[in-house]
Structure 1
């Protein structure tokens, strides 16, 4: 189903208001430019119809005072659709062209210095193709800065990891790949300048990953406006993205999401996209990249996703857990420190080199009303989360439930995160249960994460489709250790990963049971030699 956010107005013949002729003036300026890579006669800058209509829509409509109505343009374009070229041309429009302001500033922000160089080099390359522009401007390559000799207006490309930039009053702000900015100091500084200079803000990006970043907030607002759920004429959403339920192999989807494929000559290689898609059918990481960067499907709730959630969902078939009660199982427990979620995961070996898991989640009852992220209330109603009494973890209730669960299963070993675990360790040991401290240090968790990842990617991880467990896996970020291995991390505090941690612990214990001498609690065991199994 075609997303309602698709900018159909870019392709129809609907009239675009041009109150004072500013839209036409901007288009004429762009058409007068030259580009070093252009294949047109005289290296003419290629202004294709879709981008011409975009420029007219940004600069044409004006209010009664002659001010531009559009103030912010969130653009989502897949890779290869020349958004950097478009941004560079708009930067010149505001520095050397008819949108310039005497002594005005145009700035482009990027994730790092290398990325910042791209927009500047694109703009500088255009200038160097035209003697008139060369004579009218001064290029300072070391600072990625362009200055108009006649009007004092400037364009500068900045990196988000550089020095703070407070005090600027730009007339144009370009944010390149906002989702990849690791720090938001530059974003905060540029946002604070808006009240002073009322600039045009261009947010140009491919799809990102995760919902904890400011980029998600910006583009989600754009989606609401595009769908008609929010009215704001100052924001012009230009969102080329596929929906998650579309067939990503369908070339009609490719052409709809990538307007450059239909241009003459096309911006991208269709044969190269076909090759990528073919590879993506068998390589999960390639598929994830194809969806995100070629079709602008915003990735799940992780900035550095642990696994492709589509691959994870392959283990969602219904499981008859009653048949497993007498089979040996291993448990991992991730305890709440005070008032957060607590999770138990039991793991069985499936006899084929894989694993079957079942989770139990617990949340203090008085915390439930304060939870806004995810579907806590629905999960409680559907018995996927159990409420424990009070506003904080009730150890007596939890230990009672844990003993009940263990009493129904053939538990071989129980690993518990030792942080704050003394009450649980003592309670279980007093019941004669095989419990021990499962260290969360790299030497323990990296091998656990490695084996869990292997099982999921191999299609050997059955979980029955538990929605809370899926949410936890969706939230997982991975970070590389100094040794080059992976371990779990998370974004915002409300993005829980407890179930994924407990599952990794349980899987590791089950794996160790077939590998004598690899006991997870042997502090002298060298796990590194097993990391590439």
Structure 2
């Protein structure tokens, strides 16, 4: 197959100096040209008996640095990179094949992730791990990120003559073909449809913490079954929470076929702790500039809005890069287990957040005297699976563990909510339950038909009602008086909440701006709101109802 496309000319020029047996133009569009002059240098990974890990390390160390002040010098691996390569490529199974089939490395931004990924992919396309008709894929969030990997890989090839002599580059498709083995290197975006039917011999996934879906990752993984020694490598900073599939991968029980390596700062570290810097940034002081990093840390200490991003990207902590309402450390401090039975008969206040089609219905009870919180979530049983796939959280597992009440059908059964309200009326000293009148009419009729009387208080979802409610809720969280019994669904929602201020500084939670579902937290905030105004002048009595 002849060299063609926008990259062909560059590769022809770059091939000068390649070993003559690999640089002939016979059978290509340049067949009439004189071959590049011969070179006698042997390839350092071709020594007889060299183990696979040593071969890959030798290949990587022979690659040139392609940009910056040290451009043209050989790549130098530092300890954490070498350790990763050895732990991936050294283990063998009983048949002498590859034991590690999946590998994950999580490290802060700026620690050479893209260069390592590109180098490993070339080791499988052109280097010691090559195989006939191999398929190497580089998966990224979008075309821009995929382009970074592609340009890095192409830059290596362009600066190594023997590589340039072997490949055919198609810039438009971000694809590289080895004309000797007929192996291909292809960039993919996280659109999983493109991965169906592939049989990867090697694949890399870059910055999966930013991926909304794991479908592409799963499709590449399952495609490996078509190869005997396939390998998949994922390198990324940490995701923002425990529920992202990348977090689940890092937290999974160790497996001989799956190697993971995590470099992260302690969760509660100070921003000026240099030991924490080093824990997440093993390249600090090597090719990651220490002075510039210190400047970023100083900015994060002075700017609360920048701190979450710095902790996530530069300290590799599971913190959302945007400013969330609740600090996960403060929320987890309220996780002391308790027996809900001990709350029977106690004074409490409720919040009821009725769902739209996509949201959850949540009913919260806050017990201010003991600082305890109970929340019930209602999910239609027939939508459980699609909700789990859409929201990327295990609703089915939460339901099995009792954290979710399932209702029959595809829409939340209001009768189930009525039944739960009847139960709490008989079990607790309910002072008031705040509700948003939107979608409340049907529920009100059911309550009336069942003869259930409850002190329902209309909660108008504006800044005026939410501002004192959020203040009460926040004080309770900081004072460890929002004990949530380690509810996993509330933990997920607590990390999703974004609040927006008005010009006067009043705050309200914004479902349309929050990262994901927040219904249980909203219900708890409503409960705090009605508790804070129970005897105040803003409560008025109507016909069986009150309103805020």
Q: Shorter chain as normaliser: what TM range? A: 0.5 to 0.7
1:474 matches 2:495? no
What is the 5 A alignment of 1:220-231?
Answer: 220-221=251-252, 224-225=253-254
- Alignment partner, residue 326 of structure 2: 307
Deviations 1:94-147 (A, max 9, x none): 111121112211101112222211111111122222333222222222211111
C-alpha displacement at 1:234, in angstroms?
2.3
The answer to whether the 8 Å contact 2:422/2:452 transfers is no
Q: Structure 1: which 5+ residue stretches go unaligned? A: 1-17, 226-231, 318-328, 349-355, 379-389, 522-533
1:206 matches 2:214? no
For the structure 1 residues 377 and 396, does the alpha-carbon distance in structure 2 shift closer, same or farther, using more than 3 Å as the test? Answer: closer
1:405 matches 2:424? no
C-alpha displacement at 1:203, in angstroms?
1.4
- Alignment partner, residue 297 of structure 1: 317
C-alpha displacement at 1:371, in angstroms?
8.8
1:505 matches 2:523? no
- Alignment partner, residue 217 of structure 1: 248
1:435 matches 2:457? yes
1:343 matches 2:364? yes
C-alpha displacement at 1:182, in angstroms?
1.7
Matches of 1:184 and 1:491, distance apart in 2: 17
1:235 matches 2:258? yes
- Alignment partner, residue 352 of structure 2: 333
For the structure 1 residues 361 and 187, does the alpha-carbon distance in structure 2 shift closer, same or farther, using more than 3 Å as the test? Answer: closer
C-alpha displacement at 1:341, in angstroms?
6.4
The answer to whether the 8 Å contact 2:331/2:491 transfers is no
Q: Secondary structure of 1:259's match?
A: coil
CA RMSD of aligned residues (A): 4.9
Matches of 2:417 and 2:529, distance apart in 1: 32
The answer to whether the 8 Å contact 1:120/1:157 transfers is yes
- Alignment partner, residue 176 of structure 2: 146
Matches of 2:476 and 2:454, distance apart in 1: 35
C-alpha displacement at 1:180, in angstroms?
2.1
Deviations 1:199-231 (A, max 9, x none): 11101111002333322222112xx32xxxxxx
- Alignment partner, residue 171 of structure 1: 201
For the structure 1 residues 432 and 134, does the alpha-carbon distance in structure 2 shift closer, same or farther, using more than 3 Å as the test? Answer: closer
Number of residue equivalences? 443
- Alignment partner, residue 8 of structure 2: none
The answer to whether the 8 Å contact 1:80/1:268 transfers is yes
C-alpha displacement at 1:84, in angstroms?
0.9
Q: Structure 2: which 5+ residue stretches go unaligned? A: 1-47, 337-347, 382-394, 404-415, 501-507, 543-548
- Alignment partner, residue 45 of structure 1: 75
For the structure 1 residues 253 and 426, does the alpha-carbon distance in structure 2 shift closer, same or farther, using more than 3 Å as the test? Answer: same
For the structure 1 residues 371 and 245, does the alpha-carbon distance in structure 2 shift closer, same or farther, using more than 3 Å as the test? Answer: farther
Q: Secondary structure of 2:430's match?
A: helix
- Alignment partner, residue 59 of structure 2: 29
Matches of 1:294 and 1:19, distance apart in 2: 41
- Alignment partner, residue 384 of structure 1: none
The answer to whether the 8 Å contact 1:206/1:293 transfers is yes
Matches of 1:97 and 1:115, distance apart in 2: 24
Q: Secondary structure of 1:421's match?
A: helix
What is the 5 A alignment of 1:344-493?
Answer: 344-345=365-366, 359-361=373-375, 373=398, 393-401=419-427, 404-406=429-431, 414-416=434-436, 418-419=439-440, 421-422=443-444, 426=448, 433=455, 435-436=457-458, 438=459, 444=461, 464-468=481-485, 474-476=491-493, 477=496, 486-487=510-511
Matches of 2:374 and 2:83, distance apart in 1: 54
Matches of 2:270 and 2:522, distance apart in 1: 32
- Alignment partner, residue 260 of structure 1: 283
TM-score, length-scaled by structure 2: 0.66
1:121 matches 2:151? yes
Matches of 1:145 and 1:106, distance apart in 2: 10
For the structure 1 residues 70 and 449, does the alpha-carbon distance in structure 2 shift closer, same or farther, using more than 3 Å as the test? Answer: farther
Matches of 1:306 and 1:504, distance apart in 2: 12
- Alignment partner, residue 251 of structure 1: 274
The answer to whether the 8 Å contact 1:359/1:469 transfers is no
- Alignment partner, residue 41 of structure 2: none
Residues 277-286 or 120-129, more deviating: 277-286
The answer to whether the 8 Å contact 2:499/2:509 transfers is yes
Matches of 1:90 and 1:501, distance apart in 2: 47
Matches of 2:138 and 2:272, distance apart in 1: 35
Matches of 1:175 and 1:67, distance apart in 2: 23
The answer to whether the 8 Å contact 2:373/2:484 transfers is no
Residues 134-143 or 427-436, more deviating: 427-436
For the structure 1 residues 298 and 60, does the alpha-carbon distance in structure 2 shift closer, same or farther, using more than 3 Å as the test? Answer: same
Deviations 1:380-431 (A, max 9, x none): xxxxxxxxxx9994443223456x321xxxx6x8335645532576499985
Matches of 1:461 and 1:27, distance apart in 2: 50
